[in-house]
């Protein structure tokens, strides 16, 4: 259960090696010695290393094989994740960025982006919503992106998948509210992680840990939509209304 001061007892991370996801897990594990964490991701050394790091902080960690590319397995993955009991906080944190020029010219690259970032988000989202509805409490945090807010020349394929992702989880916010579940859609801007390595950081760029802090505070205060950093909300609400002829000439 999430207690009166917003501390959960259990966490499921879908995208078990997500840097933002792990930063959230570490924050919780530091705050509470007996945190139960499930890392769902493709089996790898990185996943095992992440589990070991959380164990060192005192958490009880299980790893669960999860491949976003295999939507047929997702219901079973969610069932397994909930087999040990209720889950207080679930983070949907998997996704790929890809090479954006290839993404709109190469059908295989485009399809992979769409399958991982959107289709898989829905095929885990549906069984997840069902489990959370039944347990009658909990927090579901979906890592969306500011890129989904308005398509840009530089990353519109990624942006289009996140737009779909964002709409789906925003819808869940409404659908699950009466069942005692808070869904939080998090919209970070540019985050300096392995996903963006080699790219020139955009203005207002964040570290994974800064986004994690935003997530933890949003869970504590049961917010349904947050931006990271918070000023992005204002920035994007202006950008959203910039006329197209001007918008396409902007340097990002």
Partner 1 sequence: MYESALGRLGRVDPELRTLVGWGRTAPSTARVVVPRTVDEVIEALRSADERGVIARGLGRAYGDPAQNAGGLVIDVTGLDRIHSIDADAAVVDTDAGVSLDTLMRRLLPFGLWLPVLPGTRQVSVGGAIGADIHGKAHHVEGSFCEHVESMDLVTADGEVHTLTQDDELFWATAGGMGLTGVVVRAKLRLNRVETAYFKVDTDQIDNLDELMARQSVDDEKYLESVSWFDSTVSGPHLGRGILTRANHATLDDLPKKLRKNPLKFDAPQLLTVPNVFPPGMLNKLTARMFCELWYRKSPTKHGAIQNITMFLHPLDIAGEWNRVYGPRGFLQYQYVIPFGHEDAVKRSVELMVETGHVSALNVLKRFGEGNRAPLSFPQPGWTLAVDLPVRRGLAELCAELDELVLSTGGRLYLAKESRATPEAIQRMYPRIDEWRKVRAEVDPNGIFVSDMARRLRLT
Known catalytic residues are 158
Q: How far apart are CA 100 and CA 104, in angstroms?
A: 7
Q: Judged by CB under 8 A, how many residues of this single chain contact partner 1?
A: 24
Please tell me whether residue 137 binds partner 1 under the rule CB under 8 A.
yes
Q: How far apart are CA 75 and CA 64, in angstroms?
A: 13
Return the residue matching tokens 């095992």: 48
DSSP readout, 155-187? THHHHHHHHHHHHHHHHHHHHHHTTTEEEEEEE
Q: Based on CB atoms, which residue is closest to partner 1, 67 or 86?
A: 86
Q: Please report which helix (H) or strand (E) contains residue 237, including its range.
A: helix 232-239
Among residues 62, 73, 75, 135, which is the contact residue for partner 1, using CB under 8 A?
A: 135
Least distance (Å) between residue 82 CB and partner 1: 12
Beta bridge partners of 225: 185
Q: Based on CB atoms, which residue is closest to partner 1, 34 or 44?
A: 34
Among residues 30, 34, 174, 194, which is the contact residue for partner 1, using CB under 8 A?
A: 34
Among residues 43, 136, 201, 234, which is the contact residue for partner 1, using CB under 8 A?
A: 136
Q: How far apart are CA 142 and CA 139, in angstroms?
A: 10
Contact 93, 14 (CB under 8 A): yes
Least distance (Å) between residue 212 CB and partner 1: 15
Q: x/- string (CB under 8 A) for partner 1, residues 90-119?
A: ------------------------------
Please tell me whether residue 221 binds partner 1 under the rule CB under 8 A.
yes
- Helix ranges (H only) for 1-104 are 19-31, 45-56, 74-81, 100-103
Which of the ranges 40-48, 90-98, 117-125, 217-225 carries the binding residues for partner 1, by CB under 8 A?
A: 217-225
Q: x/- string (CB under 8 A) for partner 1, residues 37-76?
A: ----------------------------------------
Q: How far apart are CA 67 and CA 123, in angstroms?
A: 12
Residues of this chain, 170-209, that bind partner 1 according to CB under 8 A: 178-181
Q: How far apart are CA 167 and CA 21, in angstroms?
A: 21
Binding site for partner 1 (CB under 8 A): 1-7, 9, 31-34, 86, 134-137, 178-181, 217, 221-222
């Amino acid at each position: 259960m999430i207690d009166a001061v917003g501390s959960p007892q259990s966490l499921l991370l879908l995208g078990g090696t997500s840097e933002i996801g792990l930063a959230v897990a570490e924050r919780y594990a530091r705050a509470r010695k007996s945190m139960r964490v499930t890392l769902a991701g493709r089996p790898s050394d990185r996943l095992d290393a992440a589990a070991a790091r959380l164990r060192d902080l005192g958490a009880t960690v299980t790893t669960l094989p999860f491949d976003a590319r295999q939507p047929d397995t997702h219901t079973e993955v969610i069932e397994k994740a909930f087999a040990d009991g209720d889950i207080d906080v679930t983070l949907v944190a998997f996704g790929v960025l890809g090479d954006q020029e290839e993404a709109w010219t190469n059908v295989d690259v485009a399809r992979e982006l769409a399958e991982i970032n959107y289709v898989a988000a829905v095929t885990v989202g549906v069984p997840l919503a069902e489990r959370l509805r039944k347990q009658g409490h909990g927090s579901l945090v979906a890592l969306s992106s500011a890129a989904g807010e308005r398509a840009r020349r530089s990353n519109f394929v990624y942006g289009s998948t996140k737009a779909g992702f964002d709409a789906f989880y925003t819808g869940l916010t409404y659908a699950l509210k009466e069942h005692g579940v808070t869904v939080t859609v998090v919209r970070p801007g540019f985050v300096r992680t392995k996903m963006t390595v080699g790219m020139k950081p955009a203005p207002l760029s964040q570290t994974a840990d800064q986004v994690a802090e935003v997530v933890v505070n949003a869970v504590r205060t049961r917010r349904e939509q947050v931006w990271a950093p918070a000023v992005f909300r204002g920035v994007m609400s202006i950008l959203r209304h910039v006329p197209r002829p001007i918008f396409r000439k902007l340097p990002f």
